[in-house]
Amino acid sequence: MLSIDLTGKRALVAGIADDGGFGFAIARRLAQAGATVCAGTWPPAYGIFTKMLERGKIEASLQLGDGSKLSFERIYPLDADHDTLDRVPAEVRESRRYKEHDDFTIQGLADRLVADFGEKPLDIVIHSLANGPEVRNPLLQTSRAGYLAAISASAYSLVSMVQRLGPLLRPGGSFLGLTYMASERVIPGYGGGMSSAKAALESDVRVLAYEAGRAQGARVNCISAGAWASRAASAIGFIGDMIEYGARNAPLPEPIHADEVGAAAAFLSSPLASGITGTTLYVDKGLHVMGMAAG
């Protein structure tokens, strides 16, 4: 039987803060395939997430289909807006939700991984990170600061992670990002520069696939997922309408589930996908092929 086997692989899933998003669903599927999983969590959410785990608040979500349980090997604080600690503004470093963490930058994460597991600690890196502080603003009403913040958190963070974590990958390693159809189609209300950030992310995946492939032997892909009602997506303000539209108009007229994205991520991260890089894989019930509404 052909199966996804990630036994002996270590994955880092950056962007887990609860059990409701794509990052958590991907972590579950990677663990179910045999990988050990580390998480990168935004510092302001770190305490909440770790307490949820300690107190058993998401115990049911940790259960895997084979009777085993998802257990995070490490949970690292990570703010992917920052590359190195010396470039973090003092007001961030000294704020209540950050000062308890020694180094929450991407370079700090790389250093911690090497200290904990050795020089080549990783096989799989999942970039499940996005933020647009003005996402509810139409593009015409988006400030320069809001636009650049969306690009920084949602797109450049992948570039920085490949720069700093690529050298830590073992042979056959891979990166995977998460994008959305707003990169190529107009989604009214998905603003604040987030559509531009997703377009940049997809372009960067193609370029990084070439550069990291030649320099590091790494694969770089992304998944364009359909709308999903994660806690983070609630910031958009009309996520329910997006899900309903997809379910009504997609070739498979039903909502996606986060586990479907998780399964696709496990495949793309596995040796079964060793010939796939620079690719955007759609997990949206086929909505991306539609040129007009079905009804």
Catalytic positions are 180, 190
Exposure string of 257-275, with b = 16+ CB inside 10 Å and e = fewer, is: ebebbbbbbbebbbeebee
Cα dihedral 110, 113, 114, 118 sign: negative
Rounded Cα gap, residues 9 and 193, in angstroms: 36
Q: In Å, what is the CA distance from 144 to each residue of 25, 123, 149, 192? A: 33, 37, 8, 9
Rounded Cα gap, residues 1 and 159, in angstroms: 37
In sequence order, what E strands does 186-290 have? 219-225, 280-283
Query: What type of residue sits at position 268?
Result: L
